[in-house]
Amino acid sequence: MCTNNIELKHWFAFYTKPRHEFKAQQQFEALSISHYLPTIERVRQWKDRKKKIIEPLFRGYIFVYGDEKERLIALQQSAIVKTICFNGKPSIIPDYQIENLKIMLNEKPEVFITNQVECGESVKIIDGPFKGIVGKVKLVCKEKWLAVSIDLLQRSVLVKLPLESVIKLL
């Protein structure tokens, strides 16, 4: 029985290192791995000027359309932290969700995405000297940084971290 490879391909979501979404995109392009990095254009205001910039719609995420072999190759890239999993298995994103996202972004809407990390939630630190440690969010400051409580030597240590350096545990 002959199977068509296209049937084995799915959309997978990956966590990237903080601010490495475009680097992951370059790595996937170099390997000819089909991917999608949803982006939006924003106007950034500095004291002396305004500038239009392109930034990822979802910070820390990129999507790959591939089979299991391509997923494993994508996972080996330096800009990638891990595959998004549910119940221990790689999450498969339905095709229609990616298509709807592409259609929505074609209209160039004004979009606001929040990290939705709130006080009391458990997070895993994915970057920096505390990488791999799990803690609880104690304070979120203006969508720029947060304070995470880490239990260490039967003491609670409060660490100030950039939002991009943690992932919310489900």
Number of domains in the chain: 2
What is the three-state SS of 18-81? CCCHHHHHHHHHHCCCCEECCEEEEEEECCCCEEEEEEECCCCEEEEEECHHHHHHHHCCCCEE
Instruction: Examine the fold and report which residue of 82, 106, 130 is the final residue of a domain before the chain moves on.
Output: 106
Query: Which tens digits make up the pLDDT trace of 21-64?
Result: 999 999 999 999 999 999 988 877 777 888 888 889 888 999 99
My answer on whether 126 and 102 are in the same domain is: no
Domain match, 96 and 142 both: no
CA-CA distance, 71 to 73, in Å (whole number)?
A: 5
- Residue numbers of the domain that contains 92: 7-106
Q: Look at residue 112 and tell me if it is in a domain.
A: no
> Residue 49 CB: number of other CB atoms within 10 A?
7
- 49 and 100 co-located in one domain: yes
The predicted pLDDT at position 7 comes to 61
pLDDT at 142: 65
pTM of the predicted protein model: 0.64
Percent of the chain at pLDDT exceeding 70: 81
CATH number, domain with residue 102? 3.30.70.940
The token duo for 105 is 């972004």
What CA–CA distance (Å, rounded) separates 167 from 61? 11
pLDDT value of position 23: 97
pLDDT score of 102:
86
Q: What is the pLDDT of residues 93-129, one digit of tens each?
A: 999 888 888 887 887 666 555 556 777 888 888 877 6
15 within a domain of the structure (yes/no): yes
Helix (H) or strand (E) holding 98: helix 95-106
158 shares a domain with 131? yes
The beta-carbon contacts of 148-155 under 8 Å, at least 24 apart in sequence, are 148/123
51 and 94 housed in the same domain: yes
- 71 and 130 both lie in a single domain: no
Tell whether 56 and 80 lie within a shared domain.
yes
CATH number of the domain residue 147 falls in: 2.30.30.30
Same-domain check for residues 75 and 127: no
Q: Rounded to the nearest 5 degrees, what angle is found at the Cα of 7, between the Cα atoms of 6 and 13?
A: 85
Query: Once rounded to an integer, what is the mean pLDDT over residues 71-75?
Result: 96
Domain co-membership, 97 together with 60: yes
As a whole number of angstroms, the distance between CA 20 and CA 164 comes to: 10
* Single-letter residue type at 154: Q
Give the mean model confidence (pLDDT) for residues 67-75: 96
